[in-house]
Structure formats: structure tokens, C-alpha cells
Amino acid sequence: MLDRYAIKVIRWPLQTFSALPDKLGITANQITIAGFILGLMALPALMMQEYYWALAFILLNRIFDGLDGAVARRQGISDCGGFLDITFDFLFYSMVPFGFVLANPEANAVAGAFLIFSFIGTGSSFLAFAIMASKRNIESPVYKQKSLYYIGGLTEGTETIGCFVLFCLLPQHFAVIAWIFGTLCWITTATRIWAGYQTLKDTLPKA
């Protein structure tokens, strides 16, 4: 829901800082991989309940995630880059609640499982529509710079990162936040399924 506004805020600094790695010959894919490795460091930090360290790694992952796209737009957007980016994103998103489950299984296990379950809904509806939209050459009117069709919803990347920040700042309330955000994710999944189905139905070739 907020991604279209967040992109406008971060576009200029990302474009500015993307010039340096481009001049140094650093590729967008290398930035994607480096960002994912940094994000993975949040898992042991969460396990040890070092929540501020985990937050630092989460934010670094997201900075690199934005930077790789800006560099890719300088060097040329590629399918393999888009594949790496979206795959690592969904792995990272599911890793964070898993880390909180490992940190406190008794208090967080069920809520964490529900949140990961909800991410399956948002992720599968997102990717399934992107595949079908690509087959029909349907382009997003909002996210034209993306390598695949970006279908929005109530909970997008900006909201998810906001949720992760709250997790790290208020770890004792992880379960409550996870239940609330997971429910919002299911609303997103439902609206994506409906909107995606209607869009694809309306673009069926006429006999």
C-alpha cells in the first residue's frame, strides 16, 4: 500500500549512490547476493536475542535491496537479476519470523508459523500473477521499473519492513504484532487473488 510513496522518497538517494558501484564495476547481482548474506546474519542475532544487531542487519539488507535495483537500471535490468532479487527477498522475509521463533519457541512459535503461512499467501499470489501477466504482456502502470509485474496490496514491502522494525524494538510483543500483520497479509492475499483473476479474465482472447 505504501510502496508507491516510499519509492518516490528513496529514488533520488538510491540513484545518487548507485553511481559509485557502477563506476567500480560492481554488478547489481553482486549487490543482491551481498545484501542477502548480510540479511542472513540477522538469524543468529535473533537466535541470541540480540535484537538491535538483528535490526541493523535487516536494515542493511533492505538498503542493498534498493541499491541493486538502482544499479540494475544503470547497467540494464535482466531476468536473472530479477529472479535472484525476488527469490532472496521471500527467503529473507520468512527468515525473520523464523528467527524470533528460535529466540523464544514457547511464546512465538504459533504466531511465527501463522505469519510465515501468511507470507506463503502473499508470495504465491504475487508470483503467480506476475507469471501470467508476463505471458500476456501486461505491464504495471505504477511499477514500470520492475523486472516483473508488481501487484500491490495492503501489505507490501514497506509495511513488512515496518513490521520487522517493530519486532526488533518490541520483541516481547512479537506474537501480537505477528498475528495482526499476518491477518493483514491474508487480506492482501484475498485482494490479490480477486484482482489478479479479474485482470486475467478480462484479457482473455476473444473467440
Residue 150 identity = Y
Alpha helices in 48-173 (DSSP H): 51-75, 79-103, 105-135, 157-169
Q: Is the dihedral of CA 116, 176, 157, 138 positive or negative?
A: positive
168: region left, alpha or beta (phi > 0 left; psi from -120 to 50 alpha): alpha
56 and 36 Cβ atoms separated by less than 8 Å: no
Euclidean distance between CA atoms 163 and 181, whole angstroms = 7
H-helix or E-strand containing 49? none
67 and 31 Cβ atoms separated by less than 8 Å: yes
Q: Identify how many contiguous H helices and E strands the chain contains and give both numbers.
A: 9, 0
Catalytic position from the list 3, 79, 89, 202: 89
Residue written as cell 492482501? 188
Q: Is 22 noted as a catalytic residue in this protein? A: no
H-helix or E-strand containing 138? none
Catalytically active residues are: 89
